[in-house]
Structure formats: structure tokens, C-alpha cells
Amino acid sequence: MNLQNHKNIILENGFTVINNIFSDEEIRQIGAVIQHIDTSKETFRKSEDLFAIRQFLKEIPEVQDLIFNENLKTVISELFGNKYFVIKSIYFDKPETSNWYVAYHQDLTISVDQKMQLEGFGPWTTKQNQFAVQPSLDILENIYTIRIHLDDTDENNGALKVVPGFHIKDIYRPETIDWTIETEEICRVEKGGIMIMKPLLLHGSSRTTNGKRRRVIHIEFSDRELPDGLNWAEKIVIAN
């Protein structure tokens, strides 16, 4: 893995893809743990088009050792730095027949433990006793997201579409994109590979058309503590 090259690509484009982070056996083991969980909790979302688990690493702690293998820990320490920790994790399963699609957007909110009045923080939302807020720009700019792919993913089963370079344009309204100068790129990722992206990168995904499922573990990382007694809802320090 030429990680310095990937670091440069992230700086320029806002994302990169690294395949072969997990073996087929590691992916099988992760899938087996997920398959045997109690899905009745309120952090689980089930529909015909999507199955999702919020606070995934907190809800299923037994999966942590499988996910943070030596390859992934090396990527995190060399690309982000040794002080980065988990601040959010979600598991997505887009079934074979899914019509679920996501319009272009930036990831502008963080998950926190309470609602409070803070300068530079807002608007706030609350879903099932989970608090989310748009923080100050410097906090958003410091976050990295890793998307672990448990299935081969391309444009036919909901791979992310991105607009390279948008992570440096601050907060942006997707409807104002000038498509005569911007280009869309499809992020194809192999089973066992990862996509790394900055939250401010403009991204979306299309409906599934090839009858293949897409399972992704989405994990966000920061090295910042929040101000004035506000805490991350899901802080997990990665063991060395």
C-alpha cells in the first residue's frame, strides 16, 4: 500500500479507494456476527429498501476486533494520525431489490450526547433520543470517513457518486452545481476494500439495478474533543 500517494489523493480529491484491506475470511466473519444480532433495538432501521444499524460499533462490540485489523489500523495511523478515534459508526445493507437512492449532499452533522446552546453549533435534530448538530466548519474539516465494503460495489448496486474536489468548497448547495465544469465520478470498491472520504465531499448514490446487495460499514473519525462539556455520542478509542 502506497499510503502517501493515497494521502495526496485525499487532499486533492477528497476521497480515495484502497482495496484488499480485508480478506474473504475476515469479511465472512464480520457478516456472520451481523447476521446473529438482535434486530429489535431502536437503533436498528428496517425497510424493504434498507437495513441500517446506528451506533454500530457500540451496539455490536464483538465486531470491533474484526474490523480494526492490522491493515485498517495502519491506514488510520498513517493517513489520519495516531490521535484519531471513532466518533460515529453505521452499518448499511442495501438489499438486492432496493430502490433506495441518496441525492447529492455533504455530511454536515455530528452525533453528540446532549443538546445545548453553543456558538457556531446548529441547527440541531433529534431522532430516537439521538442528538445531531451541524458543528463549526473546522470540526467538519477535520473528520475522515472510512466506508468498509462487504460486497463488490459499482454503479449498478449503489456505489457512491462523488464530485472530486468539493471538500474544499465549504458548505455547498447541491442544486447550484454547474455540471458544465464539474464531473461526476463513480467510486467502485471491491469486496474487502475501503473508500476514505472527507464529509464535505459532495456525494450520493443510485438505485440498485443488477440484483446484487451492497453492505457497507460507515465509520467516522476525529482527533478533536468538543467544547463546553459537549461529548461525542459514540467515542471509541482504537486499541493498538
The stretch 160-186 carries a mean pLDDT of 86
pLDDT recorded at residue 171: 83
pLDDT recorded at residue 42: 67
Q: What is the CATH number of domain 3-222?
A: 2.60.120.620
What residue spans define the domains of the chain? 3-222
**Is a pLDDT exceeding 80 seen at residue 1?**
no
pLDDT recorded at residue 27: 98
| CA contacts within 13 A on the Cβ side of 5 | 4
Confidence of residue 98 (pLDDT cuts 50, 70, 90): low
**Is a pLDDT exceeding 70 seen at residue 29?**
yes
pLDDT recorded at residue 157: 84
Return d(Cα 199, Cα 145) in angstroms, integer: 7
Predicted TM-score (pTM) of this structure: 0.93
Cβ count near 126 (within 10 Å): 10
The stretch 141-153 carries a mean pLDDT of 96
The stretch 13-27 carries a mean pLDDT of 98
Condensed to tens digits (0 to 9), the pLDDT of residues 102-112 reads 889 999 999 99
Within the chain, strands assigned E span 15-18, 44-46, 51-54, 85-94, 102-105, 110-112, 124-127, 130-133, 144-149, 160-163, 185-186, 194-197, 202-205, 214-222
The stretch 16-43 carries a mean pLDDT of 89
The stretch 37-44 carries a mean pLDDT of 70
Condensed to tens digits (0 to 9), the pLDDT of residues 184-202 reads 999 999 999 999 999 999 9
